[in-house]
Structure 1
Amino acid sequence: MNKRLFIFVFLCQFGIACALTPILAMAESSPAATEPEPEKGPHNGRMLREGDFAVELAIFETGVPPEFRVWVTQGEKPVAPQQVELNIKLTRLGDQIDDINFRAEGDYLRGDTVIYEPHSFIVSVSAGYQGKTYSWQYDNFEGRTLIEAKVAQAMEIDTEIVGAATLHKTIKVYGKLVLPANAKRQINARFEGEIKQVHVGLGDTVKKGQLLLTIESNESLQSNQIEAPIAGVITQQLANSGEQTGQRTLLEITQPSKLLAELAVFPMDVMSVKQSAPVTLMVNGLNTSIPTVISGNRLTMRDDQARLFLAEVDNTEGRLSEGAFISALIEVETFDVPLAVKRVGLQAFRDFTVVYAKVGEQYEVRMLELGREAGEWVEVLGGINAGTEYVTNNSYIIKADIEKSGASHDH
């Protein structure tokens, strides 16, 4: 299937194609001609011929990093490698050129440069023998495709630039919201008497100093008033007008403006959780996350050996409830790296983990050597240069288009 036609079919599956019909109308009605397989030599290399002079060019990578090795013949007879001058230039995506010279070794010429991945380039070969110069050029592309800018935009293919990043390593834990120990106040009378009036009711919000109860002393018959010691909500009303106070609790006030997240951390991670470590809380039913920090921990372990770490949660707006189940990411390590890519952009290609570099409207694999992972980022130890534009969101579209073309390189 023609590449543009493939993209058109792909877009149809997502309902995008109608908007892009003018762009994709260039899809050919007849299949593209299949390129013939290049001739292979006795060393499984590509054969390049001019008259009776021939060069066999192979990428050798058994026990050594990939390198070029070249065998030369004339009239099907071997030519001593010392008699041949050879140069190869590899033009990579973005017009970077690898300039490779050769020296004689055994019965072949050996290149002086490692052929790093991807093996995707325009190959220009120049050979000199007995006063005559021979030259060839061919494309050796792999992991490369072209997608027009308007199509890429419609498919929401996003890119970013490779560079330094600060990685935040986290552990995921679970827990619930509880009230702090000082969040409740039980209201009692300091003397026995009759409750003349209850000025508040269950569920009422009260301010600090607000009148709660009027009580008449049984001894002095004087009226006394009880005021709220804290601001909060009346969460228990245990007495009514006309009753005796006795020694009981009359009202309970709860201050809900602050909650504690109890986070269960299991033994393998306990030592990595530090005081004041940043925490991101996710509460069931709440669309936004809540930032906070570790403020302490319970001294005793639960029956499952988890230790409960605590984090204060602002509930001034009253959106949260005691007992709500939560999950959280606790930051346990922070480190700066000179190169990193976003995890969302990673794809598998052959035996490599790759991202897709973007140059103009062309995309090509970059085989990565990866280091530490943290959150959305992965450290890069090699395989891509700082400042390279690469695909993040929807990188699987590039992978699918490359796999459809089936391009492979010489070995």
Structure 2
Amino acid sequence: MNRKSLIVIIGLFVAGIVLAGMILTLKPPVANDEEEHAGSAGQSETFPRGPHHGRLLTKNGFALEIVIYETGVPPQFRIYPYQNEKPLPPGQVQADITLHRFGGRSETFRFKPEADYLIGDAVVEEPHSFDVAVNARFGGNAYQFAYSQVEGRVQLSPASLKSAGITVETAGPAEIESVLKLPGTIEFDQNRFAHVVPRVGGVVVDARKKLGEAVAQGEVLAVLESRDLADLKSRLATARKRLELARSLYRREAQLWREKISAEQDYLQAKTQLAEAEIAVATAKDQLEALGLEADPRKYPGNLARYELRSPLNGTVIEKHLVVGESVQADATVLVIADLSQVWGNFSVPANDLNRVNVGQKVRVKAPELGLEAEATIDYLGALVGEQTRSAPGHVHIDNPEQRWRPGLFVNIEVIEEKAAVPVAVMLEGVQTWHDAEAVFVQVGDQFEVRPLRLGRRDASRAEVLQGLAAGEHYAAANSFVLKAELGKAGAAHEH
């Protein structure tokens, strides 16, 4: 082995010894669950800690280690007692803890022995920010301890509140509307909608109405010339002439038969011809009346082929499929007329929500794109559930005198289930998410503290408070997200 190789080997050996020494001097990581939930997030230790990494309170050789334990359970107080740094049986110590929270609320916890600690009798609600008073009794002596821990608080001056646009509201009673929100569309009222067909083939000689033009019931929309119509009118006129002749012949034959001049066979033949003529006239009249025309020849215009196509209702021309000179079929839809003064709001109700919706129920119809809102009543709810959609169709009637609700528009249907008076409610704009829970920022003076809530019923603007906030307490409403951002910048220490 040459001199250079020996130097390299010695250098590597020395470097290994140095690294090993550094590793051995490093403090090993703590994996204890209680340290995980008892430590200070992002802060250095500012108070003595016990073996379970909780706050250690000591007086005259007697000590209590206070831990808020929340691994797999709701947060709970645990107290580990010691005498001269040695664990005490928990049954020999009596203790209680009183918390004085932000805004003047107080809570007292009683303790009982369990395993090697004392356990509190209630859940320690978030935030874990309070002044703590500890009373303990051991060996005939009483011990009192006090300390404070703060988390989830933000301080803002009135000027900062104003510049951030943060408003403060007071929690209190309110009326909550429970609503079921469903998507919907505006459609034509099918009871005020008509497809116009000529019912006779012909050629358009006059198209009087334009697309989008208002029309009145009975107004002429277009004029056709129809060879078939001319044939029908001619057939009726011919049938009438034959009827006149048949009546005259019948009267003459009846008179001759009564006078015993002609045979009965001639009389019966004349009677049969009269009946056939009457049937021919009636058939021709029915054919004309089926086209909406009167069978009175005195009212025919000079042109027997002229056919006036009239509107069946008051409304607006929304489709037009004819031009002058065009040949149209008898069953072709040449115009569509709709009365837009009232429209439908169509929606579908999922099967699992059908027990929440009934005919006659009040709804709000909203079109966010146009800023429109209307109140209506459910007029129809389908009796069948669609095989593919698993929902039942329904609709409401919406008055539309200004024709701002346009068919095809997407809308939100809010079915109003009930109105309920609740003792405490908050504005939804003030509700933020904190530690995976809904919360508001409660104000006392120039300080705000995050307060987790349990919310109940809610409507478009308010939510019922079931737990976490009392009537009369002040909280941030508009722009409360600014406080959440400030809390995030401050680190939001979770000190146990």
Give 1:145 shift: 1.7
Give 1:93 shift: 0.9
Contact 1:279 1:328 in 2 (8 A): no
Task: Please say if 1:148 is aligned against 2:157.
Answer: yes
Label 1:231 to 1:69 Cα distance change in 2 as closer, same or farther (>3 A). Answer: same
Q: Distance in 1 between matches of 2:470 and 2:463?
A: 15
Give 1:357 shift: 1.8
Aligned partner (choices 116, 123, 129) of residue 132 of structure 2: 123
Aligned partner (choices 180, 196, 206) of residue 190 of structure 2: 180
SS in 2 for 1:168: strand
Equivalent in the alignment of 1:13: none
Q: Which deviations, in whole Å up to 9, do the C-alpha atoms of 1:24-67 show, x marking residues without a partner? A: xxxxxxxxxx77531101343312345x5453241455778723
Contact 1:272 1:332 in 2 (8 A): no
Which residue identity lines up with residue 293 of structure 1 in the other structure?
T
Contact 2:197 2:331 in 1 (8 A): no
Equivalent in the alignment of 1:233: 316
Equivalent in the alignment of 1:7: none
Give 1:385 shift: 2.2
Unaligned residue ranges in structure 1 (runs of 5+): 1-33, 190-194, 241-245
Equivalent in the alignment of 1:293: 377
Contact 1:180 1:258 in 2 (8 A): no
Task: Please say if 1:328 is aligned against 2:417.
Answer: no
TM-score by length of 1: 0.67
Identify which range, 255-264 or 343-352, moves more after superposition: 343-352
SS in 1 for 2:298: coil
SS in 2 for 1:220: helix
Give 1:310 shift: 1.4
Give 1:312 shift: 0.8
Contact 2:207 2:322 in 1 (8 A): no
Q: Distance in 2 between matches of 1:198 and 1:170?
A: 48
Q: Distance in 2 between matches of 1:110 and 1:330?
A: 48
Summarize the alignment of residues 351-370 of structure 1 with structure 2, pairs less than 5 Å apart.
Answer: 352-370=437-455
Which residue identity lines up with residue 180 of structure 2 in the other structure?
T
Label 1:150 to 1:207 Cα distance change in 2 as closer, same or farther (>3 A). Answer: farther
Which residue identity lines up with residue 56 of structure 1 in the other structure?
L
Q: Distance in 2 between matches of 1:66 and 1:111?
A: 6
SS in 2 for 1:398: helix
Q: Distance in 2 between matches of 1:118 and 1:291?
A: 42
Contact 1:277 1:330 in 2 (8 A): no
Q: Which deviations, in whole Å up to 9, do the C-alpha atoms of 1:162-220 show, x marking residues without a partner? A: 3444242313223341233234496999xxxxx99998766443567989899xx9942
Label 1:278 to 1:125 Cα distance change in 2 as closer, same or farther (>3 A). Answer: same
Aligned partner (choices 330, 339, 349) of residue 255 of structure 1: 339
Q: Distance in 1 between matches of 2:437 and 2:333?
A: 70
Q: Which deviations, in whole Å up to 9, do the C-alpha atoms of 1:311-361 show, x marking residues without a partner? A: 112110022333x13232241633534444444444333354322222222
Summarize the alignment of residues 64-75 of structure 1 with structure 2, pairs less than 5 Å apart.
Answer: 66-67=76-77, 69=79, 71-73=81-83
Summarize the alignment of residues 196-345 of structure 1 with structure 2, pairs less than 5 Å apart.
Answer: 203-206=212-215, 219-220=297-298, 231-233=314-316, 254-283=338-367, 285-297=369-381, 304-305=388-389, 306-322=391-407, 324-331=408-415, 333-334=417-418, 336=420, 337-345=422-430
Label 1:94 to 1:285 Cα distance change in 2 as closer, same or farther (>3 A). Answer: closer
Which residue identity lines up with residue 168 of structure 1 in the other structure?
S
Equivalent in the alignment of 1:192: none
Contact 2:442 2:474 in 1 (8 A): yes
Equivalent in the alignment of 2:179: 169
SS in 1 for 2:102: coil
TM-score by length of 2: 0.57
Which residue identity lines up with residue 379 of structure 2 in the other structure?
S
SS in 1 for 2:486: helix
Identify which range, 204-213 or 263-272, moves more after superposition: 204-213
Q: Distance in 2 between matches of 1:93 and 1:111?
A: 21
Which residue identity lines up with residue 96 of structure 1 in the other structure?
R
Q: Which deviations, in whole Å up to 9, do the C-alpha atoms of 1:210-259 show, x marking residues without a partner? A: 89899xx994268899998854335669798xxxxx99999875422111
Which residue identity lines up with residue 383 of structure 1 in the other structure?
G
SS in 1 for 2:160: helix
Q: Which deviations, in whole Å up to 9, do the C-alpha atoms of 1:281-315 show, x marking residues without a partner? A: 34484222333221114567767444331111211
Task: Please say if 1:58 is aligned against 2:66.
Answer: yes
Q: Distance in 1 between matches of 2:332 and 2:56?
A: 101
Give the total of aligned pairs: 372
SS in 2 for 1:289: strand
Q: Which has the higher contact order (CA 8 A, sep 6+)?
A: 2
Identify which range, 257-266 or 159-168, moves more after superposition: 159-168
